[in-house]
Amino acid sequence: MRIPLERSGKVPLYAQIANFLRAAILSGKLPSQTRMPSARRLAGDLGISRMTVEAAYAALEAEGLVRREMGSGTFVMARRHSPASVRVNVPEIWPQWQHELVANCASWHEGAMVDAPAPLRAENAIAFGSGTGDARRFPLADFRTVMRSVLQRDGKEALEYGETCGYAPLRRTISELLSVHGLQAGADDVLVTSGSQQGLALVAQLLLRPGDSVVVERPTYAAALPLFRAMAARIVDVPVDREGMRVDLLDKALQRYHPRLIYTIPNFQNPTGVCMSAGRRRSVVALAERYGVAVLEDDFVGDLRYGGRAQPPLKALDRTGGIIYVSTFSKMLMPGVRVGFIHADGPVLELLAGLKRLTDLATSSALQRALHRYVSIGRYDAHLRRARRLYATRRDTMARALERYFPPGSEFDLAEGGLFLWVALPRGYVTSELLRPAWKAGVGFAPGEEFFVDRSSGDRFLRLNFAAVTPEEIERGIRNLGRVIAESSQ
Ligand code: PMP
């Protein structure tokens, strides 16, 4: 096989090989089930080391494009889901560099978020696929009031850039919120970000270099996967069970892959809803310390607990500055405010702030001031209390509806908090194939495949948001979904 390589270029050789093969797979030039040349042979053809070819194959495997079978070789995987946005056949009118970009970005530029296509997106569709709380319960009137009073109080200052690390009074307020969870953070230990997605992206950009390994949970937050792929990282997934990440397997992965970063969502994990046990939390922290690996702790819904005992954040167990804690007001309050934050110790926080400055200079000063006022006059606490009561009831309503309308043999655990129930259908179902009929029946959901590196492991799972929907919608939506599932198996 001939692959044009630029030996003195900036892109590592393994990445050039992976880019070339990826484009060939996505364009269909290398069809499903094609057996790739052995690493030894391709290395010989190209006059490079076998390790380089191995690294390229590993990157493609992490993207779910090839499958490596011990003893028999590397094969192109079937692509059941050719992402709409990956158009390898870009019309000729665009310059060559745009064609190259499309090929080079194919690993992460895919329709990662499954949204119903416009014609199927019914006006009153039931949004079990949502990733947030109920927009109809956003505290609109309160927020209008605080916004007005902040603009009156601060005038044009509220509309200037503001500090890169965030509005100081808000950072102080965040440090007080964190102290409730046993985190001793001063205002200067907090960096405000534009949502926690920016926090995750900054950490990934700062820590990861092409070819570095990153450990994620299996399954994990769908938008974290393309983020790590965009850094050309090798993704190593470690299964989650009822107690959170399997630390025995994490230990093995740390020994084998020497990752740069462990990404975990200990509270009410996205998508499984699992809350990591106290023992596992201690083990993750101890393992990360022992192997000298950074941990990115994503606490996106930690304050939405409906039962069980609160567990300390990993960051509260951190004695060495190894853990970077990221959180957000998006789920506990509303996503459009775009305020999240990072709490970390040591020089990493300043470097993250430096990188943020390069990215967006600062998060909206007006919105930070409004949020600060909203929290400091006690509205946030009151909102959280209401949201917890409301969402707990909705979770129970959904659980009852699932028992009633889903096929026998379906399984789920009652999440102790957060937004989601993670449901396994009996073997044989492929939930991504149920999406279209579900949309037609006016119901959305998140198919399991989005949350797995190899997609197909998620075939029989679906993630259902119980918080964004009313009890009446839950009853009607789960009944309709149950019908769609039943009809699919006839
Ligand atoms: N982490 C997780 C686990 C999420 O589900 C989300 C939102 N979908 C985010 C981070 C990012 O949210 P935001 O940028 O709105 O804070």
CA of 200 to the centre of ligand 1 (A): 9
* pLDDT of 86 above 50: no
Q: Establish whether residue 175 lines the binding site of ligand 1, counting it when its CB lies within 6 angstroms of any ligand atom.
A: no
* pLDDT of 83 above 70: no
- Quick one: average pLDDT of 348-366? 98
- Tell me the pLDDT tens digit for each residue of 386-409: 999 999 999 999 999 999 999 999
The ligand 1 atom nearest the CA atom of 199: 14
Dihedral (CA of 376, 379, 385, 388) sign: negative
CA of 298 to the centre of ligand 1 (A): 8
* pLDDT of 297 above 60: yes
Distance CA 248, CA 372 (A): 42
Q: Establish whether residue 264 lines the binding site of ligand 1, counting it when its CB lies within 6 angstroms of any ligand atom.
A: no
Query: Which residue has a Cα nearest atom 2 of ligand 1?
Result: 300
Q: At 82, is the pLDDT very low, low, confident or very high (cuts 50, 70, 90)? A: very low
247, 253, 255, 259: CA torsion to nearest 10: -110
CA of 294 to the centre of ligand 1 (A): 20
- Tell me the pLDDT tens digit for each residue of 325-337: 999 999 999 999 9
Please report the pLDDT score of residue 102 as a whole number. 83
CB of 422 closer than 8 Å to CB of 103 = no
Please report the pLDDT score of residue 69 as a whole number. 79
CA of 314 to the centre of ligand 1 (A): 18
What number of other Cβ atoms are within 10 A of residue 180's Cβ? 9
Please report the pLDDT score of residue 305 as a whole number. 97
Distances 458 to 180, 222, 271, 483 between C-alpha atoms, Å: 36, 12, 11, 21
Please report the pLDDT score of residue 94 as a whole number. 82
Token reading at 233 = 């990282």
Please report the pLDDT score of residue 124 as a whole number. 76
Query: Which residue has a Cα nearest atom 1 of ligand 1?
Result: 300
Q: In what order do the strands lie in the sheet with 190-193?
A: 190-193, 340-343, 323-328, 294-299, 261-264, 213-218, 234-241, 244-245
**Least-confidence region, from 22-36, 221-235, 332-346:** 22-36
- Tell me the pLDDT tens digit for each residue of 267-292: 999 999 999 999 999 999 999 999 99
CA of 71 to the centre of ligand 1 (A): 40
Choose one of 191, 193, 221 to mutate for the ligand 1 pocket test, by most ligand atoms within 8 angstroms of C-beta: 221
Q: Establish whether residue 267 lines the binding site of ligand 1, counting it when its CB lies within 6 angstroms of any ligand atom.
A: no
The ligand 1 atom nearest the CA atom of 298: 1
CA of 301 to the centre of ligand 1 (A): 9
Closest of 71, 69, 99, 87 to residue 28, by C-alpha = 87
**Long-range contacts from 434-440, C-beta under 8 angstroms, 24+ separation:** 434/462, 434/481, 434/484, 434/485, 434/488, 435/114, 435/116, 436/120, 437/484, 437/487, 437/488, 438/480, 438/481, 438/484, 439/116, 439/120, 439/121, 439/122, 439/125, 440/120
Q: Establish whether residue 164 lines the binding site of ligand 1, counting it when its CB lies within 6 angstroms of any ligand atom.
A: no
What number of other Cβ atoms are within 10 A of residue 169's Cβ? 15
The ligand 1 atom nearest the CA atom of 328: 16
- Tell me the pLDDT tens digit for each residue of 244-261: 999 999 999 999 999 999
CA of 419 to the centre of ligand 1 (A): 12
* pLDDT of 219 above 50: yes
Question: Pairing relation of β-strands 261-264 and 213-218?
Answer: parallel
Please report the pLDDT score of residue 251 as a whole number. 98
CA of 332 to the centre of ligand 1 (A): 11
Please report the pLDDT score of residue 79 as a whole number. 64
Q: Establish whether residue 342 lines the binding site of ligand 1, counting it when its CB lies within 6 angstroms of any ligand atom.
A: no
Q: Which residue has the higher pLDDT, 4 or 243?
A: 243
CA of 270 to the centre of ligand 1 (A): 9
- Quick one: average pLDDT of 171-184? 96
Question: Pairing relation of β-strands 340-343 and 420-424?
Answer: unpaired
Mean pLDDT of the chain: 92
- Tell me the pLDDT tens digit for each residue of 112-158: 344 545 544 566 789 999 999 999 999 999 999 999 999 999 999 99
Q: Which residue has the higher pLDDT, 29 or 487?
A: 487
Q: Establish whether residue 46 lines the binding site of ligand 1, counting it when its CB lies within 6 angstroms of any ligand atom.
A: no
CA of 331 to the centre of ligand 1 (A): 8
Please report the pLDDT score of residue 404 as a whole number. 98
- Tell me the pLDDT tens digit for each residue of 52-67: 999 999 888 877 788 8
The ligand 1 atom nearest the CA atom of 198: 14
**Least-confidence region, from 45-59, 237-251, 343-357:** 45-59
**Least-confidence region, from 24-33, 277-286, 447-456, 463-472:** 24-33
* pLDDT of 164 above 90: yes
- Tell me the pLDDT tens digit for each residue of 411-450: 999 999 999 999 999 999 999 999 999 999 999 999 999 9
The model carries a pTM of 0.84
Choose one of 228, 276, 300, 364 to mutate for the ligand 1 pocket test, by most ligand atoms within 8 angstroms of C-beta: 300
Distance CA 184, CA 488 (A): 52
CB of 158 closer than 8 Å to CB of 357 = no
